[in-house]
Amino acid sequence: MDVIIKVNNQSNGRDKLARCIDIFYTALNTINIEDPFLKCTLTVSKLAHALYLYADHVVWLTRSGFLKTDSDSWNKTANKFWLLSIIANLARDFYEILHLLELHSKKFLKPSELVNASINIDYSSSFKHIYAVVSCHKDVFIDTMKNSCDLFIPLTALGLTKLSPSAVGALGAISSLAAIVTVVKPITKLVPA
């Protein structure tokens, strides 16, 4: 039985290492993106994610008995890289949201309109407009929701926030559901990714 577990662990290790190398390779593709902000955020995100996986490999190898090192230190390093990747993804999401706001700015109030006119806001119309924007740009909404939920997982692991394990689990479940939606309906995946 121990031999089967060890072989299974080695197979998992090869899969994890291949994923790490694959993500490093995809970081090279992001360098060709024309938009400088997208190029920067996507490249940082991919490199940080690959380094997170590398550190996570070291943790896995240590806990499997293949390496003798401080797994807690490597786990902390892995969470720092994961956090950096999520922050870069959120920066990209907010950049996309700003572009959407510019695109749909005719429907939103401008500060000059607030000063010179009486305020008569039709909330029903505003909510319908927001719903229409979210419906047309599900990719941005889903990616922002996923990254917002993911953000608190490494923050809690690093001790920067104090969420209960059930709250972290719920956020992880929401993030996983959002990721599954992008696999089932590829049109909801934010590109370039």
Residue spans of the domains in the chain: they are: 2-103+137-188
The per-residue pLDDT for range 64-89, each reduced to its tens digit, is 898 999 999 999 999 999 999 999 99
Distance CA 153, CA 171 (A): 8
pTM of the model: 0.82
> What digits encode the pLDDT tens for the residues 140-154?
999 999 999 999 999
14-66, pLDDT tens digit by residue?
A: 676 788 889 988 888 898 999 999 999 999 999 999 999 999 999 999 998 98
Report the mean per-residue pLDDT for the chain: 87
Tell me if 168 sits within 8 A of 153, measured CB to CB. yes
Question: CB-based contacts of 150: which residues, under 8 Å, 6+ apart?
Answer: 86, 171, 172, 175
